[in-house]
């Protein structure tokens, strides 16, 4: 390991590229335009935030929530319906991401929302949607969340849904299946969902959905001796208990669940700053008797309005909801990008941003402390108001950003560094929100088909933390060495790394290579060479890089997809870190960025390159297409100008 972490040798590189290969004035002009465009997007308070787009289930469920609570208005419905219609695919379906295939559950929920706006089943766009649903198995084949929504309005029997007993909240953290075995986003959803499931309400939609049913025999239960088979039988036992649950135990469970929910409401009215626990928490508390005028519900509903984006449409105004917001993440990345573009550490924009970031530091204990009770507080979260759920990924990026400015931040960075060290998992990697949250059996529970329900270490998060700790002169410490060893073990056989929170292997590889080099691995190390070879072999003919989100389910898509600005930048950042920023692949990538830049300095990127749940939930970050190209261009142009970025000998 000592050899692996030794400084870069000076004898393993060739001379700087010929003068004819120097960066063009066009590349520098592209960087200037992008930098100025990003500067113009900064809020007066110091932060940046791009729109965060997901899929139309956010908008459909917002209308269904308002229908359930009795507060839906015709104006809201019409505006949301216009947006939903604008996203329908030619085959009648709705997808999870731009350019993706139709998704059954998303299509069902969108269909319900349009019925709320009065679209008749016989309308052509509705008929094609219903045909898609029937062709793909009908309501019975949809995900559990969708069938929960149907049950809330009497279009699916509660008895045919998996059990989610609220008594789970009473289990101590050392017992299997306690709520802290689940990832933070899952536990925040499961607790209110258990209340709704226990009370089994039925409200009216005002229409039927018989046209979405398909006659089919119920699915056969999994094989008894298999893990899913055992969990299926346990679910049936829990369902039997649900039918007779009465008395003090059930009342205590409901009371404790409500207290747990209320204690975790954020200052902006949300729960975790994300949509699923937010809507279920509002419904659960209302079912337990909280009136809409109660401060908790009033704050929660007002918070949803702040997550609403309105924009003009051909038939009138449209509204859509962000599933979450990313100001801390966006601001940290913007600071780093602008620094890479040449802004001095004392630039007013960087100082305002750093001052704002310091004001967002989290000094309270969250759910992470259940597994790490002795770890001191520190760090940052993703959203404006999410004190209960600091995350290691944002914390690492904020540390890196703060060190690019002149604003005094030593105390906050020290606290954050200690927190990151305390959050390292036993295997040497880092997860996003919790430590050692790896009980894989939970994914086989019948009600856990809504995406990833645990938070294991990932290559991209571990890489960002290794890079941040290395920047704090901790590369030679045992935690960083263990993190490096984890990353080397996690490398895929083809030389790439899996991207948990970004699409996908291009993101993972773009994060890991700079981190390994920052931690001391030489660019000639076999792992780095294999990663560079993978990137070169997956460059598109047009010079860019792209990876379709279907790569999470279909290996044929790994490293394949339309070129995007963000993914091209990730590949360039890795090539630069590995000493290949002056090579042919990087030169072609830079040329692609120059040729596709808009006049205003940005890039078009309708493709989704962010990941919520691999295979189930994806994100289009509005600033990814800007901050990452700026960093890539800035680093490559600076290194070429100084003669430091040279090709490593094969």
Residues 403, 398: Cα–Cα separation, whole Å? 9
What is the full DSSP assignment across 247-304? HHHHHHHHHHHHHHHHHTB-TTS-BTTSHHHHHHHHHHHHHTT--TTSHHHHHHHHHH
Among candidate residues 103, 340, 393, 455, the one labeled active-site is 393
For the chain, what is the largest distance between any 2 Cα atoms, rounded to a whole number of angstroms?
Answer: 82
Measured CA angle at 368 (ends 460, 511), to 5 deg: 10
Tokens of 369: 């402390």
Question: Which position has the token pair 């970004």?
Answer: 502
Q: Is 600 a catalytic residue?
A: no
Check residue 380 and report its DSSP letter.
Answer: B
CA proximity to 519, closest of 464, 591, 446? 464
Check if the beta carbon of residue 399 is closer than 8 Å to that of residue 468: yes
Distance of CA 40 to the CA centre of its chain: 26
241 DSSP 8-state letter: H
Strand partners, 318: 311
Q: What is the distance between the alpha carbons of residues 544 and 202, in angstroms, rounded to a whole number?
A: 51
Q: Specify the DSSP class assigned to residue 211.
A: G
Question: Is 1:521 a contact under the CB 8 Å cutoff?
Answer: no
Residue 177 CB: number of other CB atoms within 10 A? 15
Which residues are registered as beta bridge partners of 579? none
Structure-block tokens of residue 580 = 């290949």
Residue 432 backbone dihedrals phi, psi, to 5 degrees: -80, -45
- Alpha carbon distances (Å) from 530 to 22, 514, 518: 26, 14, 17
CA dist 324 → 148, 248, 276, 327, 386 (Å): 22, 37, 10, 10, 11
How many other CB atoms are there within 10 angstroms of residue 359's CB atom? Answer: 10
Residues 358 and 395: their CA atoms lie apart, in Å, by 11
Distance of CA 56 to the CA centre of its chain: 16
- Supply 3's token pair: 């050899």
3-state helix, strand, coil in the chain (%, to 5): 50, 5, 45
CB atoms within 10 A of CB 494: 16
Spacing of C-alpha 162 from chain mean position: 26
Supply φ then ψ for residue 318, to 5 degrees. -120, 150
Given a contact cutoff of 8 angstroms between Cβ atoms, the answer to whether 272 and 185 are in contact is: yes
Among 625, 611, 511, 496, smallest CA distance to 563 is for 625
* Residue for token pair 């993440």: 329
Active-site amino acid positions: 393
């Amino acid at each position: 390991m000592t050899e692996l972490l030794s400084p870069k040798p000076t004898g393993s590189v060739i001379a700087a590229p010929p003068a004819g290969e120097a960066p063009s004035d066009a590349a520098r002009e592209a960087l200037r335009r992008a930098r100025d465009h990003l500067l113009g997007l900064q809020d007066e308070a110091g932060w940046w935030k791009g729109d965060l787009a997901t899929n139309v289930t956010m908008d459909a469920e917002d209308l269904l929530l308002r229908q359930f609570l009795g507060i839906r208005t015709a104006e809201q419905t019409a505006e949301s319906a216009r947006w939903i219609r604008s996203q329908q695919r030619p085959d009648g379906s709705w997808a999870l991401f731009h350019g993706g295939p139709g998704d059954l559950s998303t299509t069902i929920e969108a269909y319900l929302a349009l019925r709320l706006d009065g679209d008749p089943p016989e309308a052509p766009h509705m008929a094609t949607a219903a045909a898609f649903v029937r062709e793909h198995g009908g309501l019975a084949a949809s995900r559990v969340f969708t069938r929960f929504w149907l049950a809330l309005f009497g279009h699916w029997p509660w008895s045919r849904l998996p059990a989610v007993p609220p008594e789970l909240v009473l289990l101590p953290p050392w017992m299997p299946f306690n709520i802290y075995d689940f990832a933070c986003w899952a536990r925040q959803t499961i607790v209110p969902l258990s209340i709704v499931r226990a009370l089994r309400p039925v409200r009216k939609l005002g229409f039927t959905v018989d046209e979405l049913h398909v006659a089919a025999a119920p699915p056969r239960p999994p094989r008894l001796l298999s893990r899913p088979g055992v969990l299926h039988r346990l679910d049936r036992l829990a369902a039997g208990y649900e039918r007779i649950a009465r008395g003090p135990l059930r009342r205590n469970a409901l009371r404790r669940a409500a207290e747990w929910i209320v204690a975790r409401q954020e200052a902006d009215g949300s729960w975790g700053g994300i949509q699923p626990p937010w809507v279920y928490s509002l419904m659960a508390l209302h079912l337990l008797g909280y009136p809409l005028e109660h401060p908790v519900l009033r704050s929660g509903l007002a918070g949803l309005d702040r997550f609403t984006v309105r924009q003009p449409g051909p038939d009138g105004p449209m509204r859509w909801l962000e599933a979450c917001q990313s100001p801390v993440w966006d601001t940290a990345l913007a600071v780093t990008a602008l620094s890479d573009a040449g802004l001095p550490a004392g630039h007013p924009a960087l100082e305002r941003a750093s001052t704002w970031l310091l004001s967002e530091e989290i000094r309270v204990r969250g759910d992470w402390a259940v597994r790490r009770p002795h770890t001191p507080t520190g760090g940052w979260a993703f959203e404006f108001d999410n004190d209960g759920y600091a995350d290691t990924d944002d914390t690492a990026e904020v540390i890196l950003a703060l060190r690019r400015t002149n604003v005094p931040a030593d105390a906050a960075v020290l606290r954050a560094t200690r927190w990151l060290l305390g959050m390292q998992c036993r295997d040497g990697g880092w997860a996003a929100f919790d430590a050692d949250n790896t009980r894989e059996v939970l994914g086989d529970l019948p009600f856990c088909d809504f995406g990833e329900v645990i938070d294991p270490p990932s290559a991209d998060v571990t890489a960002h933390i290794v890079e941040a700790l290395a920047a704090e002169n901790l590369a030679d410490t045992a935690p960083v060495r263990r993190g490096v060893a984890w990353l080397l073990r996690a490398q895929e056989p083809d030389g790439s790394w899996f991207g948990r929170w970004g699409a996908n292997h291009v993101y993972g590889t773009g994060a890991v290579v700079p981190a390994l080099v920052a931690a001391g691995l030489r660019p000639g190390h076999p792992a780095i060479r294999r990663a560079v070879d993978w990137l070169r072999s997956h460059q598109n003919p047009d010079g860019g890089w792209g990876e379709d989100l279907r790569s999470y389910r279909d290996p044929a898509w790994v490293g394949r997809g339309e070129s995007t600005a963000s993914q091209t930048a990730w590949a360039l950042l890795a090539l630069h870190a590995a000493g290949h920023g002056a090579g042919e692949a990087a030169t072609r990538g830079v040329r692609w960025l120059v040729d596709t830049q808009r006049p205003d300095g940005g890039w078009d990127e309708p493709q989704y390159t962010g990941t919520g749940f691999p295979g189930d939930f994806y994100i289009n970050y509005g600033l990814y297409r800007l901050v990452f190209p700026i960093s890539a261009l800035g680093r490559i142009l600076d290194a070429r100008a100084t003669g430091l970025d040279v090709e490593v000998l094969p």
